[in-house]
Amino acid sequence: MTDTNSLRPALVAAAQQLGLSLSDSQIEQLLAYQGLIQKWNKVYNLTAVRDPQAMLTQHLVDSLSLLPALLRHAEGRPLRLMDVGSGGGLPGVVVAICAPQIDVTCVDAVAKKASFIKQVAAELGLKNLHGEHSRVEALEVPPFDLITSRAFASLLDFTSLTRQHLKPRAESGAKSGAIWLAMKGQHPAEELAALPPDLDVFHVEQLQVPGLDAQRCLIWIKPRA
Ligand X SMILES: C[S@@+](CC[C@H](N)C(=O)[O-])C[C@H]1O[C@@H](n2cnc3c(N)ncnc32)[C@H](O)[C@@H]1O
Q: Which residues lie closer than 8 Å to 172 by C-beta, 6 or more apart?
A: 145, 178
- For the bound state, the minimum distance from the C-beta of residue 24 to ligand X, rounded and expressed in Å, comes to 26
Binding characters for ligand X, 4-33, by CB under 6 A (x = yes): ------------------------------
Is the Cβ of residue 77 or residue 214 nearer to ligand X in the bound state?
214
Q: How far is CA 100 from the centre of its chain?
A: 14
On whether 80 is known to bind a ligand per the annotation, the reply is: no
| Using rule CB under 6 A, residue 81 touches ligand X | no
- For the bound state, the minimum distance from the C-beta of residue 132 to ligand X, rounded and expressed in Å, comes to 9
On whether 90 is known to bind a ligand per the annotation, the reply is: yes
User: Judged by CB under 6 A, which of 85, 97, 124, 172 binds ligand X?
Assistant: 85
Is the Cβ of residue 105 or residue 172 nearer to ligand X in the bound state?
105
User: Judged by CB under 6 A, which of 43, 54, 110, 214 binds ligand X?
Assistant: 110
User: Judged by CB under 6 A, which of 151, 164, 171, 196 binds ligand X?
Assistant: 151
Buried/exposed 164-183: b ≥16 CB within 10 Å, e otherwise = ebbbeeeebebeebbbbbbb
- For the bound state, the minimum distance from the C-beta of residue 55 to ligand X, rounded and expressed in Å, comes to 11
The one segment of 11-19, 48-56, 96-104, 108-116 that binds ligand X by CB under 6 A: 108-116
Work out the angle at residue 82's Cα, subtended by the Cα atoms of residues 4 and 112, and round it to the nearest 5 degrees.
55
Q: How far apart are CA 183 and CA 78, in angstroms?
A: 22
Q: Which of 112, 23, 8, 119 is nearest to 53 (CA)?
A: 8
On whether 150 is known to bind a ligand per the annotation, the reply is: yes
On whether 28 is known to bind a ligand per the annotation, the reply is: no
Q: Which residues lie closer than 8 Å to 217 by C-beta, 6 or more apart?
A: 184, 185, 186, 187, 188, 204, 205, 206, 207
